[in-house]
Amino acid sequence: MSPPFDRVALIGIGLIGSSLARVLRREGLARHIAVHSRSEATRTKVRELGLADSLHATPEAAVAGADLVVICTPLSAYGDIAAAIAPHLKAGAILTDVGSVKQSVIRDVGPLVPAGVHLVPGHPVAGTEHSGPEAGFADLFRNRWCILTPPPGTDETAVNRVADMWRRCGMNVEIMEARHHDQVMAMTSHLPHLIAYTIVGTATDLEGHIDADVIKFAAGGFRDFTRIAASDPVMWRDIFLNNREAVLEMLGRLTEDLAALQRAIRWGEGEKLQELFTRTRAIRRSLIEAKQA
């Protein structure tokens, strides 16, 4: 059986791009995998790892003749990349991405997409705190969700082809509006990262002797925050700048709830604390039942 895609171009090849390259190859989903990386060091690494059939120093060279193009860089690079590749996209090609925010993709890339090319923004909700092509692995996407946010009127065949690719990479696919995606991710992913960055930042600002013991006794909950707070700084800067509205909305709610908790602790209102902790414990149980834990 011939592969579903003839030539797939990956623009950027870090954790997500290299995981995709690995699983595309393992599952036989592309005849040819063309990769663009801006840096010689990354291209050398990708060559050593054998992740690409062809390597390109410019994005326009990588997309020439591709029937599927996947942008796998931080969000702040999208506008320049879209402008560079637009004149070189093949008629009928599908342009997708893996970015963690979706309205900004439609805003930055949408207007540059030539007629006859199908934009299908996507977000495989799978990752680790590691970066770069060595960090990727083919099973990263297995049993995780991939969310596609095609703008109204997007060609259905193109959407189905992207959905089918992610399913064959092991993912469950859901289609939703970009705005809804960004709100859900603000709560489930962006806010938890912001909290982790804050807690670890607060801890490192403590006076020397406390700071040292925070590291020594990190197992008491702090350690899990340090793992999340080790995530890529550029990627997360871009996520907060591009999902500003939804993150600020969720942060406002969190701040109110924190103030209420602060008051309950100050006034010794044990029943309020216990009531909240009982509710949150039930949420954890329902996550386990939904196999999302």
**CB-based contacts of 129: which residues, under 8 Å, 6+ apart?**
227, 228, 230, 231, 232
96 touching ligand NAP, by CB under 6 A: no
Torsion sign across C-alpha atoms 33, 39, 43, 46: negative
Least separation in angstroms between residue 20's CB and ligand NAP is 9
List Cα–Cα distances, 89 to 62, 65, 69, 80, 108, in angstroms: 10, 7, 9, 15, 17
Q: Judged by CB, which is closer to ligand NAP: 81, or 250?
A: 81
38 to 77, contacts with ligand NAP by CB under 6 A? Answer: 38-39, 42, 72-75, 77
Q: Judged by CB, which is closer to ligand NAP: 38, or 90?
A: 38
Q: Which of 7, 9, 17, 250 binds ligand NAP (CB under 6 A)?
A: 17
Count of residues engaged in binding ligand NAP, rule: CB under 6 A: 24
113 to 152, contacts with ligand NAP by CB under 6 A? Answer: 124, 127, 131-132
Pairing between β-strand 145-148 and β-strand 122-125 as defined by DSSP bridges: antiparallel
242 touching ligand NAP, by CB under 6 A: no
Least separation in angstroms between residue 262's CB and ligand NAP is 32
Q: Are 53 and 32 in contact (CB under 8 A)?
A: yes
Q: Are 186 and 243 in contact (CB under 8 A)?
A: yes
145 to 204, contacts with ligand NAP by CB under 6 A? Answer: none
Least separation in angstroms between residue 71's CB and ligand NAP is 8
The encoded tokens of residue 163 equal 């959905």
Burial class (CB in 10 A: 0-12, 13-18, 19+), 207: exposed
Q: Kindly list the residues in this chain that would bind ligand NAP in the complex (CB under 6 A).
A: 12-17, 37-39, 42, 72-75, 77, 98-100, 124, 127, 131-132, 232, 235
